[in-house]
Chains A and B, each alone.
Chain A
Amino acid sequence: MFILESNVEIEESPQLDVDVLDEVTKPWQVMILNDPVNLMSFVTLILRRIFGYSEDKAVELMLKVHYEGSAVVWTGEREKAELFVQQLQSHQLYAVMEPID
């Protein structure tokens, strides 16, 4: 704590832990993994609904999942990534996330 001449006391800012800061700011990616059951039209619909993607973009991502086994559908902060994974899983899409180094 610093004591100023005017006797106004100002609390010292706590030192931000670099690891914690890294953890908060490090981007994560949300991925959909291929699943033999989900219909292509269903995956496209859910991508449009959750992320607001155009039909063309949603179809492109859906086809990437289908032919390549997975697609990154969103990248950003961890908290939002968790929310998106939850929303996708609530439609039974095979959604997962991982940090980007």
Chain B
Amino acid sequence: MELIKNDDSTWTLSKVSELEHLMLSRIPESADPNGCERALDRLYPSPIAPDAELDSDKSFDLENDWDEFIKPDLRVEFKDALKIVADDLGKSIMTREGDLNLYQFIIPTAHANHWCSALNQARIVIHHKYDLPDEDGDMDMSPNPEKWMATLQSEIYGVLMEFLIKKVLWIN
């Protein structure tokens, strides 16, 4: 997989293998936290620091306001990002190189933040859903296949995020 910044308006994700294509196509469903309380708590946390010295009335008011006004906005923002990425994923171009099918995506630069958001949402949900280890290299040596795939998926999303951050979004 290669990421090239074409100009200020588009970037291209090219030489995407079948496996990488499969992983990318799973971004929207993988970012769905429903059914995983830990992922939901992490994506929509309380605004109050765990050890904050705040009396219960004030804490209750802030939590309530957050639930009523902020969390719905966050849900919409996260969902919008996933929708944009899903649309971009539907526009892949397939080419053949020898025996290999390779895919290419040409993506507007304006979507780069949405891609980062979608990839990050998916990484957070995968981490909590599959209870992945906190530190790199702590992987169980004989994990179940689902957990192994989840780790690989999260790693690929992380690599793509690094590309995007350094090549498209970085502030010079």
Q: Is the CB of B117 within 8 A of A92?
A: yes
B124 near A98 with CB under 8 A, answer no
Structural contact, A94 and B166, CB atoms closer than 8 A: no
| Chain A residue nearest to B70 in the complex (CB) | A86
Min Cβ gap A95→B in Å is 8
Q: Which residue of the partner chain, among B43, B49, B134, B169, contacts A98 with CB atoms under 8 Å?
A: B49
Indicate the size class of the contact surface on chain A.
Answer: 20 to 34
A96 touches B170 (CB 8 A): no
Chain A residues lying within 8 Å of B121, measured Cβ to Cβ, are 92
A38 at the interface (CB under 8 A from B): yes
A4 → chain B closest CB, angstroms: 41
**In the complex, chain B residues whose CB is within 8 Å of the CB of A96:** 45-50, 52
A41 touches B45 (CB 8 A): no
Contacts of A55 in B (CB 8 A): 171
Q: Is B100 an interface residue (CB 8 A)?
A: no
Whether B52 lies near A94 (C-beta < 8 A) is no
Of A33, A42, A48, A92, which one neighbours B43 at CB under 8 angstroms? Answer: A92
Interface residue ranges, B against A (CB under 8 Å): 42-54, 58, 70, 73-74, 77, 116-117, 120-121, 123-124, 127, 134-135, 158, 161-162, 165-166, 169-171
